[in-house]
Amino acid sequence: MAPTKTLLRALAGEILPTPPIWMMRQAGRYLPEYRATRAQAGDFLSLCYTPDLAAEVTLQPIRRYGFDAAILFADILLIPQALGADLWFVTGEGPRLSTIQSAGDFAKLKGGADIHDHLGPIYETVRILAQELPKETALIGFAGAPWTVATYMIAGQGTPDQAPAHTLMTEHPDVFDALIDLLTEATIEYLSAQITAGAETVKLFDSWAGSLKGDAFTRHALAPAKRIIGELKSRHPDVPIIAFPREAGDGYIGFARATGADCVAIDNSVSATWAAKHVQSDGCVQGNLASSHMVTGGQALVDETRAIVQAFQGGPHIFNLGHGITPDADPDNVALMIETVRATETV
């Protein structure tokens, strides 16, 4: 049966007169209702692991804006915690983890198929959302890609250039490769369980793919994505998959063909015109308004939004930002973006 939800129709390759819209990090700190629920939870991880509250913050932007899709509220670093890494969040600074810098550190982790007891609350959140979302709203599950998650596990926190991960890759390739393999296995299991719970599509976030160049990009961004997508397709052949190798540049070209992804999300370091020519030729693209427009608003937001919709009108397109919305965004600018997308005429 052909899909009826607009997001799923675009993922199936349909060219729509108005692209479906959602935003990365659409449930987040820019919304006062999110901040209230976050305070109720007590801390970020408690919010992630309390299904009723996680479902509530997932639903908040749907109620406010009527997005065409909701994305599960969770965090990419829940998998490392499920694998046995220590995880905590420092207020104002972000996540911290125990580090993986040696074979001994790696040996303390669990197998990738042993994560489900820990992640059970996440699957319950998906089940709640599958029941409570409006019938026209698609439900997106997600995970971080192995390379991106590994960068945090190796450094113990986010880093500007992922240097600790690059160092481990060079100096201890056996440990690095084992970690990538473990994360690949765990990601397959995690996303498959989300789909079983009710996710209608899933997205693989490789936020730091752009720091991989040449053969390293092929081995550590493209190859794990291909393995994950291939296995998910074998288990769930009708579920579309979105891949996001952020700041991949020319690496975006052919990424869908090489990995089997149904859609490639693109950041705003490449233009919509370029992506329409080089990426959309292989199928659906998602993107790519600069998130800074959600802060500054005005005519520049309107003009760039229209330009993106028109650039991608010749093929399947999902409108989104080029990166996640930031906490200082103005909720009114989100409404203006949505209004502009839905009012933009395409030829």
35 is catalytic: no
What the block records as the tokens of 77 is 């670093």
What the block records as the tokens of 192 is 């498959």
What the block records as the tokens of 256 is 């869908």
Write the CA distances from 97 to 117, 128, 156, 275, integer angstroms: 20, 29, 4, 36
Judged by DSSP in three states, 18 sits in coil
152 is catalytic: yes
The single residue of 9, 30, 34, 38 carrying the catalytic annotation is 38
Who's near 250: CB < 8 A, 6+ residues apart? none
Residue 33 CB burial class (10 angstroms; 0-12, 13-18, ≥19)? middle
Q: What angle do CA 326, 331, 333 make, to 5 degrees?
A: 90
Q: Which H or E run includes 265?
A: strand 263-265
CA–CA gap between residue 204 and residue 145 (Å, rounded)? 6
Could you please report the per-residue DSSP string of 227-251? HHHHHHHHH-TT--EEEEETT-GGG
Which ranges of 145-240 does DSSP label H, i.e. alpha helix? 146-155, 163-171, 173-197, 215-217, 223-235
The single residue of 25, 49, 68, 282 carrying the catalytic annotation is 25
342 is catalytic: no
Cβ contact 30:40 at 8 Å: no
Pairing between β-strand 263-265 and β-strand 284-289 as defined by DSSP bridges: parallel
227 is catalytic: no
Write the CA distances from 317 to 3, 127, 180, 226, 302, integer angstroms: 16, 27, 31, 22, 18
Q: For residue 48, which of 22, 81, 70 has the smallest C-alpha distance?
A: 81
CA–CA gap between residue 28 and residue 244 (Å, rounded)? 20
The single residue of 34, 49, 65, 75 carrying the catalytic annotation is 75
29 is catalytic: yes
Give the active site residues.
Answer: 25, 29, 38, 75, 152
